Structure 1
């Protein structure tokens, strides 16, 4: 290739790239730009959250809430329910029970992710909470609790597995048709919401709960 042609190619390549960028920018710029659709239905409690009452409910006391978090598969094995799956290192959240929280929990029954319908807790209501982390056997503790009514929850992720026969094809012989299958392993992910209302009746009381 002649030296002049190489120089022309070196000049033309950046020009072509610049032209493509300008054409792309011109295509994105217009008088009318269609907005993205947002079909999400957002539901909020209508009541007013009482921050003063929530702050008072979370003041320190002398009680203790001790618990173990676990789930149990629904399938039955020889007439028994599945083995316990303990919540290993999950976060357990505690809220003081207020009229606002009760309205939220009732409204949450209408939540339907398939229809893009979601229920939200106000930032103030979410701010007034306590958190604990379970150990490998699902145990957790909330110390220094004063008498009152509380709601605790956690989300436990787990999976199940099994085998199925996957069809791989058919063969023909003098006796007819033979279908062939291969044994395949499958896994299914699960996410269980663990929740419970807890009452601390007396100052200094130790309440033991099963969060499931």
Structure 2
């Protein structure tokens, strides 16, 4: 009887070990990451042609505005200028249009769903660095449609009422006491805009926010 019990216990131990070291392991739902890709092939010749030298200029200013901790905008909040950040310009090819639409439809950071831009497509880009006023320039541009993007880091600042204790007033009721305190939270905003150059020699101005 003892031998049978020992064999049965050993079987459970071996079985449990087999599950841990199995060839396939189902991830927890919260750990699943979904990656989507455009079906269209990337046309490198078209992208290269769109980024050839022209005589137009794209000038812009990059900024964001402080948002509420819950994510919605704060009316009349001052601009937070993009101080010395990188602005990336992509030619809007049919591949890129599919990628952008797919991102609008599918991407969700909270649900861990992401849309992949191919390494080849990412190589065909131009870059500019803003000054301390958030201003940037892309010279020598050809007529065409372009997509601008930057990642702007800033510190969210706000106040909250911190509970400091309670006491009883002269009428026998309880009074709670609060003290206003500041909080700081690091944020990163993805600022984006489409811009179109219609003809050579023109200057196109854009607000990137």
Give TM-score, length-normalised by structure 1: 0.76
Task: Give the SS at the match of 1:143.
Answer: strand
Among 176, 183, 186, the alignment partner of 1:186 is 183
Task: Give the SS at the match of 1:184.
Answer: strand
Matched ranges for 1:125-204 at <5 A: 125-172=121-168, 175-204=172-201
CA RMSD of aligned residues (A): 2.0
How many residues align? The count is: 179
Task: Give the SS at the match of 2:177.
Answer: strand
Q: Report the equivalent of 1:66.
A: 59
Q: Deviations over 1:97-137 (max 9, x none)?
A: 11111111111112111111111101111110001010000
Q: Report the equivalent of 1:103.
A: 98
User: Is residue 110 of structure 2 the alignment partner of residue 117 of structure 1?
Assistant: no
Hey, what's the Cα distance between the residues in 2 that align with 1:173 and 1:194?
52
Q: CA deviation at 1:53?
A: 0.6
Q: CA deviation at 1:36?
A: 8.2
Q: CA deviation at 1:172?
A: 4.4
Task: Give the SS at the match of 2:117.
Answer: coil
User: Is residue 74 of structure 2 the alignment partner of residue 75 of structure 1?
Assistant: yes
Structure 1 unaligned spans of 5+: 1-29
Hey, what's the Cα distance between the residues in 1 that align with 2:57 and 2:186?
34
Hey, what's the Cα distance between the residues in 2 that align with 1:178 and 1:196?
52
Q: Report the equivalent of 2:10.
A: none
Moved over 6 A (4+): none
Hey, what's the Cα distance between the residues in 1 that align with 2:145 and 2:169?
73
Give TM-score, length-normalised by structure 2: 0.77
Hey, what's the Cα distance between the residues in 2 that align with 1:187 and 1:206?
39
Structure 2 unaligned spans of 5+: 1-16, 67-72
